């Protein structure tokens, strides 16, 4: 094992310890993402070093998912949960008829509206920062891994060209890039789900998921599943079924298992769709 490999494994071990410490801190329900930003930042930096300098180790240890879950998905879900809770209080108050009980709950509804507005601002900031990070990470991955990466992403060369070691290294890098595009799609989807616009636009999320598929067509179960999810938002059951089928198809080396349940549900919807047309 070279010194550089030892250094990367050391960084990985230290980062995992920091991740465990963060998980322990977050068991406190009162902790907000802002309270642990310093620890999250060090985890981001550690995992990014592993992805940039040793892609095979990154894939082996599922580094991209650990980074996403700990530093981005966790805070996003925290804010989404707070928004749902506050919105429920406000909606319950709005639905009540005039009366003694309603006036007594006015103060809690006002507080919930204030909390909802503050949380929405934090949520949007979180989404923007996460999106900026992943767009920058993709650029750094492409820059660090040179012309072979660019050629594979553009389709001008095969990822199977070269020695076995080179092929495995390039495939690992493309796995990471594909997953990063998927995370960007998720962030765009969450942003749109909680936007104030009456008409939703899923084109940005779809574009990111499609980039994830393009980066590694032979192993794209998850992005196809997410494309199916966005299709269901638009009542496009046939499109959803297509993407669920692609996610389950033999083209994917590691199909995204939860889509099996979703595909069954979609199969129930499609006959209804055709009867209504």
**171 and 181 in contact (C-beta within 8 Å)?**
no
Domains, the chain:
3-204 (1.25.40), 220-277 (no CATH)
pLDDT at residue 260 above 70? no
**251 and 226 in contact (C-beta within 8 Å)?**
no
Written as six digits, the tokens of 130 are 């996460």
**209 and 179 in contact (C-beta within 8 Å)?**
no
Question: How confident is residue 188, by pLDDT bands cut at 50, 70 and 90?
Answer: very high
Residues with Cβ within 8 Å of 179's Cβ and at least 6 positions away in sequence, in order, are 64, 65, 68, 212, 222
**262 and 222 in contact (C-beta within 8 Å)?**
no
Average pLDDT over residues 62-88: 92
Average pLDDT over residues 38-44: 94
Average pLDDT over residues 17-41: 83
Residue with the bigger pLDDT between 238 and 61: it is 61
- Report the phi/psi class of residue 200: left, alpha or beta, with left for phi > 0 and alpha for psi in -120 to 50: beta
pLDDT at residue 156 above 60? no
Residue with the bigger pLDDT between 229 and 30: it is 229
Cα–Cα distance for residue pair 120/266, rounded to 1 Å? 32
pLDDT for 138 equals 93
With a pLDDT cut of 70, the percent of the chain lying above it is 75
Lowest mean pLDDT among 13-22, 81-90, 165-174, 224-233: 165-174
- Report the phi/psi class of residue 215: left, alpha or beta, with left for phi > 0 and alpha for psi in -120 to 50: alpha
As a whole number, the mean pLDDT across the chain is 81
pLDDT for 250 equals 44
By CB atoms closer than 10 A (0-12, 13-18, 19+), residue 210 is middle
99-155 pLDDT, tens per residue?
556 666 677 788 888 998 999 999 999 999 999 999 999 999 888 766 555 555 555
Q: Highest mean pLDDT: which of 156-170, 181-195, 234-248?
A: 181-195
Residue with the bigger pLDDT between 118 and 257: it is 118
DSSP 121-142: HHHHHHHHHHHHHHHHHHHHHH
With a pLDDT cut of 90, the percent of the chain lying above it is 42
């Amino acid at each position: 094992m070279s010194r550089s490999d030892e250094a990367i494994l050391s960084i990985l071990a230290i980062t995992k310890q920091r991740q465990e410490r963060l998980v322990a801190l977050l068991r406190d329900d009162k902790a907000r993402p802002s309270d642990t930003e310093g620890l999250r930042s060090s985890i981001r930096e550690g995992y990014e070093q592993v992805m940039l300098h040793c892609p095979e180790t990154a894939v082996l240890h599922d580094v991209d998912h650990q980074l996403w879950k700990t530093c981005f998905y966790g805070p996003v879900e925290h804010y989404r949960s707070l928004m749902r809770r506050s919105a429920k209080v406000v909606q319950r108050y709005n639905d009540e008829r005039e009366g003694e009980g309603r006036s007594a709950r006015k103060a809690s509804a006002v507080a919930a509206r204030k909390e909802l507005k503050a949380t929405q601002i934090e949520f949007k900031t979180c989404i923007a920062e996460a999106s900026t990070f992943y767009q920058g990470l993709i650029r750094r991955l492409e820059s660090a891994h040179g012309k072979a990466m660019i050629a594979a992403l553009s389709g001008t060369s095969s990822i199977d060209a070269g020695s076995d070691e080179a092929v495995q290294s390039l495939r690992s890098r493309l796995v990471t890039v594909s997953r990063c595009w998927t995370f960007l799609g998720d962030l765009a989807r969450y942003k749109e789900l909680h936007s104030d616009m009456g008409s939703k636009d899923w084109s940005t999320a779809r574009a990111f998921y499609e980039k994830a598929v393009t980066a590694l067509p032979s192993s794209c179960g998850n992005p196809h599943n997410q494309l199916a999810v966005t299709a269901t938002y638009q009542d496009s059951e046939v499109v959803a079924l297509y993407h669920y089928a692609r996610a389950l198809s033999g083209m994917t080396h590691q199909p995204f298992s939860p889509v099996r349940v979703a595909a069954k549900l979609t199969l129930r919807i499609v006959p209804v769709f055709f009867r209504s047309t």
